[in-house]
Chains A and B, each alone.
Chain A
């Protein structure tokens, strides 16, 4: 297999020593089929054991290997060295505080994911004995794409609104809320509306669409948010005009 040398420029930050992050260069002999994550693993195994970064599955499932690769939020396990120039800059995901080296602090988004009540809410909870909530395939198709999210947070890293003001609930959490709003078994839409239609909710999004462009799982959070805006506006007028609240 062919070996190609690349210059890896990695952002380093040691909270105990460094006042600010700095860049360290590594020369990495890469195999043809390597992803950036393989190059980082090579550094860790052979050149510098102190480098900190997150990963687990190496197959686009766990969502933990998100980093900036040449300025673009990417899953490093699916970003291949052969598609990149000879010099590659790797930084921790933008818009998040840096814990150490390439590891970021995700507490804020974890809270947000929780805040949108991402579970099925029913009026008849617990369900009556022997009752099953069934769902047709068509009803599943409505939101299936939104269930593909792996919480890699690349979208938050691309979102300029979240970067400027992290009170914004942000793309993945809003898409997650929409996933439950669209679920035919759920009855919690009006409960979620308070959070979503608040000023830190959907209306903060200016439809830059950056989140959808970088999403490795094609969840398309930007589209979900625009649908929620339409939903929210309809709901608002329904309530204003005294129609019974549209529950789905």
Chain B
């Protein structure tokens, strides 16, 4: 009797095609360049503001207002909602369970807490920006 375990090869480039779960995961990971894009956009916006030039700021604003850009931002918003916000909020009770006495606080409380905080913080930001 000789042992000769067989190792099944895994493709480093196409492993995620094996099942639906991995595909959805990969879709989320691959589209995360949008996160990078918005980080970059924020930096550009901030440095334009810091330059203290109303003309430059106006330029930046109008560069974001073309129909192409508006569609892009709208799609990106949907993406962030469906691939980031909703799934991560849904998982929050798993990462941060709260136990009181012998009972776990129902996960829905924690999820709702996240949405409340989100709306509140957004409102504060809009208020600071003078939009409310």
* Chain A bound to chain B: yes
Which residues of A come within 8 Å of B, CB atoms? 13, 15-16, 18, 20-21, 71-72, 94-95, 97-99, 105, 137-138, 141-142, 158, 160, 163-164, 206-210, 213, 220, 222-223, 226-227, 229-230
Cα–Cα distance between A94 and B18 once the two chains are bound (Å): 11
Residue in B5, B29, B102, B103 whose Cβ sees the most chain A Cβ within 10 Å: B5
Name B94's contact: one of A13, A98, A213, A220 (CB within 8 Å). A220
The residues of B that contact A208 with a CB separation of less than 8 Å are: 21-22, 25
Question: For residue B5, which residue of chain A has the nearest CB?
Answer: A97
Query: Which of B6-14, B41-49, B65-73, B112-120 forms contacts with chain A?
Result: B6-14
Known: A71-B19, A208-B22. A98 touches B95 (CB 8 A): no
From 11 to 34 in chain B, residues with beta carbon under 8 angstroms from any chain A beta carbon are 12, 15-16, 18-19, 21-22, 25, 29
Q: Which residues of B contact A (CB under 8 A)?
A: 1-8, 10, 12, 15-16, 18-19, 21-22, 25, 29, 91, 94-97, 99, 101-104
Considering the chains assembled together, what is the distance between the CA atoms of A13 and B5 in angstroms?
9
B4 to chain A, nearest CB (A): 4
CA distance A164 to B19 in the complex (A): 15
Distance between B128 CB and nearest chain A CB, rounded to angstroms: 28
Kindly list chain A residues whose C-beta atoms are within 8 Å of the C-beta of B96: 227, 230
Of the A-B pairs whose beta carbons lie under 8 Å apart in the complex, a sample of 29, sorted by A's number, is A15-B3, A15-B5, A16-B2, A16-B4, A72-B19, A97-B5, A98-B7, A98-B8, A138-B99, A141-B99, A141-B102, A142-B99, A160-B16, A160-B22, A160-B25, A163-B10, A163-B15, A164-B10, A164-B12, A206-B25, A206-B29, A209-B91, A210-B21, A213-B21, A222-B94, A223-B94, A227-B95, A227-B96, A229-B95
Give the docked Cα–Cα distance between A223 and B12 (Å): 26
Apart from A16-B1, A164-B12: 13 A-B pairs, beta carbons within 8 A: A15-B2, A15-B5, A97-B7, A99-B3, A99-B5, A138-B101, A138-B102, A141-B102, A158-B21, A160-B15, A208-B21, A220-B94, A222-B94
Closest 6 CB pairs of A and B: A223-B94, A97-B5, A15-B4, A226-B95, A138-B102, A98-B6
Instruction: Report the nearest B residue to A15, measured CB to CB.
Output: B4
Question: CB within 8 A of A97: which of B6, B15, B22, B103?
Answer: B6
> Which residues does chain B contribute within 8 Å of A137, judged by CB atoms?
102
Smallest CB–CB gap between A78 and chain B, Å?
A: 20
Least Cβ distance of A43 to chain B in Å?
21
What is the minimal beta-carbon distance from A153 to any residue of chain B, in angstroms?
15
Chain A residues near B102: list those with CB within 8 A. 137-138, 141
Report the nearest A residue to B29, measured CB to CB.
Answer: A206
Query: Which residue of B6, B8, B21 is within 8 Å of A15 (Cβ)?
Result: B6
Give the complex CA separation of A16 and B12 in angstroms: 29
- CB–CB B15/A20 < 8 A: no
Report the Cα distance A98→B5, complex, angstroms.
5
Cα distance A71–B101 in the bound complex, in angstroms: 41
Which B residues lie within 8 Å of A98 (CB)?
A: 5-8
Residues A105 and B5 in contact in the complex (CB < 8 Å), given A137-B102, A208-B25: yes
Let me know if B91 and A226 touch, CB within 8 A. Answer: yes
Smallest CB gap from A107: residue in B: B5
Contacting residues, chain A, for B4 (C-beta < 8 A): 15-16
